[in-house]
């Protein structure tokens, strides 16, 4: 690190277990993990780095599998860090560390419609932007007006939504090594009570259909065109199938749950088995939605 490191006000942790920062509650140690004190501190931290080590930004870790050997590089935690949320003219301004649930409720309270679906996404806005997260027929980039990104040098850049190519659960970045730190959402005027009711119903549907009582990472696979991954997995006889401490959820077949002492390898091997079984029995090659980082345990 350079001289800029002396001005840091965030928290730098060495050999920090990533199981504490992922919703599956698995994962080896990160060489370095930084929790910034805010946007300016994040900029200072990035400017202080003088190595070519890879950088990983993590929100709630709710779409992430960290291998048991840990992460050789630097993990930056965004959840509970960049949390500003406000109206700016007629747009909703949200920083990347705001949870999608909180964002949905804020938009409803401000009588803005079209953001209710965020209540069904178990992550932060930063993660939702990075993967074009969505549910119940709406996706994140449907409502994005513009964003602010940050690069490895700590430089901020405001970009219009048109600069990004968003597709199903994927976003093409115009430049490599840029990460989202904030977004402006363009939403129509709506009725606060109507939006609140939509959110309530959406959360009730989620509770009834998803295994929220056990550690998971949401949907394991993307839905193929015109079908559902969960249907294909269930039709392949995999509901309840277990490897080590990882299990195909008996409530929702596209969820893998940690039923006790799962490690990352259990989960990764189960993902592989699910993909191979569905291909063999249904003739469909499922595409993984969960992101995997890190090294295998030696």
Question: How much is the pLDDT for 3?
Answer: 47
Q: How many domains does the chain have?
A: 3
pTM of the model: 0.94
Residues 184 and 277 in one domain: no
What is the per-residue pLDDT for 195? 97
* Catalytic residue annotation: 169, 219, 289
Q: Is residue 214 part of a domain?
A: no
One DSSP character per residue, 39-67 reads: HHHHHHHHHH--S---EEEESS-TTEEE-
**Residue 224, domain member (yes or no):** no
Let me know: does 82 contact 39? Beta carbons within 8 Å.
yes
CATH code for the domain in which residue 267 is found: 3.90.78.10
Helices 100-109 and 192-209: angle between axes, nearest 10 degrees: 150
> Are 17 and 62 within one domain?
yes
Percent of the chain at pLDDT exceeding 70: 98
Q: Are residues 101 and 202 in the same domain?
A: yes
Structure confidence at residue 1 (pLDDT): 55
Q: Are residues 119 and 178 in the same domain?
A: yes
Which pLDDT score is estimated for 144? 98
Quick check: is 70 in a domain? yes
* Claim to verify: residue 246 and residue 193 sit in the same structural domain: no
Question: pLDDT tens-digit profile of 233-279?
Answer: 999 999 999 999 999 999 999 999 999 999 999 999 999 999 999 99
The arithmetic mean of pLDDT across residues 114-138, rounded, is 94
Residue-level pLDDT at 137: 85
Mean predicted confidence (pLDDT) in 275-285 = 98
Q: Could you tell me the residue range of the domain that residue 34 belongs to?
A: 3-77
Number of neighbours of residue 41 by Cβ within 10 angstroms: 18
Tokens of 90: 């007629």
Structural domain contains residue 71: yes
Is residue 72 domain-shared with residue 95, that is, in the same domain?
Answer: no
What average pLDDT does the chain have? 95
> Domain check: are 53 and 158 in the same one?
no
């Amino acid at each position: 690190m350079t001289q800029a490191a002396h001005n840091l006000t965030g928290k730098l942790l060495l050999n920090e277990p990533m199981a504490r920062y992922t919703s599956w509650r698995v994962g080896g140690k990160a060489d370095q993990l930084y929790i910034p004190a805010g946007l300016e501190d994040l900029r200072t931290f990035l400017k202080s780095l003088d190595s070519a080590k890879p950088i990983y930004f993590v929100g709630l870790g709710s779409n992430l599998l960290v291998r048991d050997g840990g992460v050789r590089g630097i993990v930056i935690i965004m959840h509970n860090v960049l949390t500003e949320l406000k109206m700016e003219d007629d747009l909703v301004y949200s920083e990347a560390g705001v949870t999608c649930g909180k964002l949905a409720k804020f938009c409803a309270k401000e009588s803005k419609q079209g953001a209710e679906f965020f209540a069904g996404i178990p992550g932060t806005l930063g993660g939702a932007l990075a993967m074009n997260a969505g549910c119940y027929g709406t996706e994140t980039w449907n409502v994005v007006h513009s964003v602010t990104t940050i690069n490895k040098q700590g430089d901020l850049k405001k970009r219009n939504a048109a600069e990004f190519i968003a597709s199903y659960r994927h976003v093409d970045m115009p430049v490599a090594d840029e990460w989202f730190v904030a977004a402006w959402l363009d939403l129509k005027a709506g009725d606060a009570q109507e939006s609140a009711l939509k959110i309530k119903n959406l959360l009730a549907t989620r509770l009834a259909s998803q295994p929220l009582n056990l550690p998971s990472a949401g949907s394991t696979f993307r839905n193929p065109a015109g079908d559902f991954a969960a249907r294909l997995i269930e039709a392949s006889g995999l509901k309840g199938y277990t490897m080590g401490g990882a299990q195909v959820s008996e409530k929702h077949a596209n969820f893998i749950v940690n039923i006790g002492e799962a490690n990352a390898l259990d989960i990764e091997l189960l993902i592989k088995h699910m993909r191979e079984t569905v291909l063999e029995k249904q003739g469909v090659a499922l595409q993984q939605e969960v992101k995997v980082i890190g090294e295998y345990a030696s």
